[in-house]
């Protein structure tokens, strides 16, 4: 068991990440009280029904009142409006963080709204599944996964250190990173792969109309893995690509160059180039497993977990 890090935590948005944060917080005793708010009344009712949060509030302002830590767990495109809404109700000395997949845009959208004396430490837990909504969360989501903190210039070091302890208490490994570098790294490791998965599944959908559902019926593991990624929340991913445009386009450009090189190797029968390329990429997969970020078990190493 970990000790209490914050007296009160407020979760704004009650999807996969926020719900997992609650279960992980409760399991480790990291907060005395957790309040929550979701824009949808149906989501709030579901949260109450399953016991998600100690209190589910009817407004974001009510949820953040007296909170020591406020977590913005809403789509990146909604961050600015939420920050403006809660700003007058934040107590002095509180820390505001987020869980968005893009950091520069979040900083630009949120920081101007926050009053003097409130600490802003943007964050990004590198954890998730293809599921969304309040019932999708579970306490072990963050175990042995990285959470990247991106404190803005002038942020109180103690506030950052305290947030680090909180994430570590939920099982995460924590690192700090500059916002622009974060956005480029994530364009490589997450954003562009998602875009490619969406594209591949879209192509298969076109083929399915021709092949009378054989693409679905005879799906091999590679295509199934694409569909798992492409099942992710569409609102979140729309906002990711609109708010991390430059880095994503840069990596897509590099991807296109690599793809043309592979096309040329296949067209010219250059088996040596293909073999060497696949050998290099195979080594990256081994590195991910050795780093403890996945297993060689099927289904991405994910077993069904209980809350």
Interval 55-96: pLDDT, tens: 999 999 999 999 999 999 999 999 999 999 999 999 999 999
Residue of 48, 59, 61, 62 lying closest to 19 (CA atoms): 48
Name the one residue in this structure whose structure tokens are 């209490």.
Answer: 4
Residue 55 host element (H or E): strand 55-56
Among 120-124, 195-199, 210-214, 290-294, which is the least confidently predicted range?
Answer: 210-214
Spatial distance between the Cα atoms of 112 and 148, rounded to a whole number of angstroms: 22
Residue 209, domain extent: 181-268
pLDDT at 294: 76
Handedness of CA 71, 77, 79, 85 (dihedral sign): negative
Spatial distance between the Cα atoms of 161 and 139, rounded to a whole number of angstroms: 22
307 or 289: which leads in pLDDT:
289
Question: Do 41 and 189 fall within a single domain?
Answer: no
Does residue 99 form part of some domain? yes
Q: With contact defined as beta carbons under 8 Å apart, do 123 and 170 qualify?
A: no
b/e burial code for range 240-279 (CB count within 10 A of at least 16 → b): bbebbeebbeebbeeeeeeeeeeeebeeeeeeeeeeeeee
Q: How many domains does the chain fold into? A: 2
Spatial distance between the Cα atoms of 166 and 169, rounded to a whole number of angstroms: 5
Does residue 294 form part of some domain? no
Q: With contact defined as beta carbons under 8 Å apart, do 215 and 226 qualify?
A: no
pLDDT digits (tens, 9 = 90+) for 246-274: 999 999 999 999 999 999 999 999 999 99
Does residue 273 form part of some domain? no
Question: Do 119 and 62 fall within a single domain?
Answer: yes
pLDDT at 208: 65
Question: Do 161 and 197 fall within a single domain?
Answer: no
pLDDT at 231: 84
pLDDT at 213 over 90: no
pTM equals 0.85
301: confidence class by pLDDT, cuts 50, 70, 90: very low
The enclosing domain of 189 has a CATH number of 1.10.3660.10
- Mean pLDDT, the chain, rounded, equals 90
Question: Do 132 and 191 fall within a single domain?
Answer: no
Question: Do 134 and 216 fall within a single domain?
Answer: no
């Amino acid at each position: 068991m970990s000790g209490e890090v914050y007296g009160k935590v407020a979760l704004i948005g009650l999807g996969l990440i926020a719900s997992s944060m609650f279960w992980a917080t409760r399991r480790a005793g990291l907060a005395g009280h957790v309040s929550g708010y979701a824009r949808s009344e149906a989501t709030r009712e579901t949260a109450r029904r399953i016991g998600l949060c100690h209190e589910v509030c009817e407004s974001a302002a009510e949820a953040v009142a007296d909170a020591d830590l406020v977590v913005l767990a809403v789509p990146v495109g909604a961050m600015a409006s939420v920050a403006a809404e809660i700003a007058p109700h934040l107590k002095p000395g509180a820390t505001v963080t987020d869980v968005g997949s893009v950091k520069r845009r979040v900083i630009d959208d949120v920081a101007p709204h926050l009053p003097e004396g409130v600490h802003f430490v943007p964050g990004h837990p590198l954890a998730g599944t293809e599921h969304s909504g309040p019932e999708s969360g579970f306490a072990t989501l963050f175990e042995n996964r990285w959470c990247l903190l991106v404190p803005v210039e002038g942020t109180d070091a103690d506030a950052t250190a305290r947030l680090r302890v909180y994430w570590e208490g939920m099982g995460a490994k924590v690192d700090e990173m500059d916002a622009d570098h974060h956005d480029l790294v994530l364009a490589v490791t997450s954003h562009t792969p998602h875009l490619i998965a969406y594209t591949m599944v879209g192509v298969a959908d076109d083929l399915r109309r021709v092949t009378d559902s054989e693409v679905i019926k005879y799906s091999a593991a590679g295509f199934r893995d694409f569909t798992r990624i492409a099942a992710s929340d569409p609102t979140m991913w729309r906002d990711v690509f609109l708010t991390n445009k430059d880095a994503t386009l840069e990596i897509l450009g590099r991807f296109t160059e690599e793809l043309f090189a592979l096309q040329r190797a296949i067209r010219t029968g250059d088996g040596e180039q293909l073999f060497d390329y696949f050998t290099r990429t195979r080594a990256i997969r081994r590195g991910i497993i050795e780093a403890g970020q996945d297993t060689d078990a099927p289904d991405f190493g994910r077993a069904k977990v209980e809350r």
